[in-house]
Amino acid sequence: MSKIARHAYLIVLYLVCVIGITPQQAFAQDIPLKVYLGGYPICMEMYSDGPIVTEVNESLAGKEGVKVGDVIKSINDYVVESRSDVYSYLQNEAVSYPLNMTVLRNDRLQKINIVPPRDVCSGKAVLGFSMKDGLSGIGTMTCYTDDGIFYALGHSVRDVDSTSAFDCRDGKIYDCVLCGNCLPKKNVPGKLIGKSSGEATGYISANARFGLSGRMLSEKKGTYYETANRTVIRPGKATLVTTINNEPEFFDIEIVKTSLQCTPSEKGMVIRIVDEKLISATKGILQGMSGSPILQNGRLVGALTHVFTNDSIYGYGVYIDWILGE
């Protein structure tokens, strides 16, 4: 690096560290931020900001009633965060009927009124629907910083039972031991199979557009890698860091296409798996690999996000700019 280039770099680095310009501004100038590389699977346990309706009694069905996928926010102006809050409130003998409920449906708050059905034997009012407090699953750690902030998955988590985006109240991540996988079939993606191991290794603070973030609890350290600006990424040879046998491995891929994105957006890259070892073991990309780091020219450029359902050799990637800049 020339003396002029070095001075320019130090000035820009000063702006980032001392004055506090945003990561996106830093990326626009291709400042090589450094992070610890992930590539290993994690188990996640997330709690929604309000219980999610999973099943509804026929007597409550109808256009104006509670529906599967509703997220309950309040009952008679009593704010609820979990199933236990709902049950505790209904134990109060002073509860008035019908129940005036606020629910999140299709990402919008909506008021509904329901009259709970009566138990055939006792004659007492029963809730009339089933709920859950959150979800769990497997994903891949992308990277984490010196101060213990982690980034994983590369895309937001959405609950298949809910009609709205999953509003994460809080959650935990755990080390994951892989037990095997389900290979993809025609138009059906395959998936990693694993289980959590030990105590929580981190707390989830956000389920954002480009993945999960939170704070690590353990001192687990990977290898330091510099990040790369999206403007320097080119179609061609690259590397996917992911785990199929409980240790991260480096697999050859090709970046088939890059999209010019001036504002944060998903699917910045199309990638193709070319590594015969990975293809032989998994037939390509499996669910649970989301968040696997993508490297090019020795720098972290993004993360795997989605697999093509009709061809598991291909998938999408998101630029590291957007992951760290959200």
Could you list the mean pLDDT of each consecutive 10-residue stretch along the chain, which spans 326 residues?
46 47 53 87 94 82 74 93 89 76 92 78 73 93 94 91 83 94 90 92 93 88 89 96 94 96 89 97 96 97 95 96 86
pLDDT at 118: 67
Is CATH 3.40.640.10 what the domain over 22-46+136-325 is classified as, yes or no? Answer: no
Question: Can you give the pLDDT at residue 24?
Answer: 52
* Known active-site residue 155: yes
Q: Are 217 and 203 in contact (CB under 8 A)?
A: yes
Q: Report which of 40, 27, 34, 38 is spatially closest to residue 233, judged by C-alpha positions.
A: 27
Which residue among the candidates 49, 252, 275, 311 is catalytic per the annotation? 275
- The answer to whether residue 197 is catalytic is no
Parse the chain into domains and list their residue ranges.
22-46+136-325, 48-133
pLDDT of residue 6: 45
pTM: 0.82
C-alpha dihedral sign at 126, 127, 128, 130 = negative
Exposure letters 275-301 (e unless 16+ CB within 10 A, then b) = beebeebbbbbbbbbbbbbbbbeebbb
pLDDT the model gives residue 17: 46
Considering the candidates 155, 175, 196, 312, report the single residue annotated as catalytic.
155
Host H or E run for residue 250: strand 248-258
Residue 306 is among the residues annotated as catalytic for this protein: no
Q: Which letter, b or e, does each residue of 9-42 get, where b requires 16 or more Cβ atoms within 10 Å of its Cβ?
A: eeebeeebeeeeeebeebbbeebebebbbbbbbb
- As given in the structure block, the two tokens for residue 80 are 């609820």
Give the pLDDT of residue 61: 52
Among candidate residues 162, 164, 213, 290, the one labeled active-site is 290
Q: Which architecture, in CATH terms, is 48-133?
A: Roll (2.30)
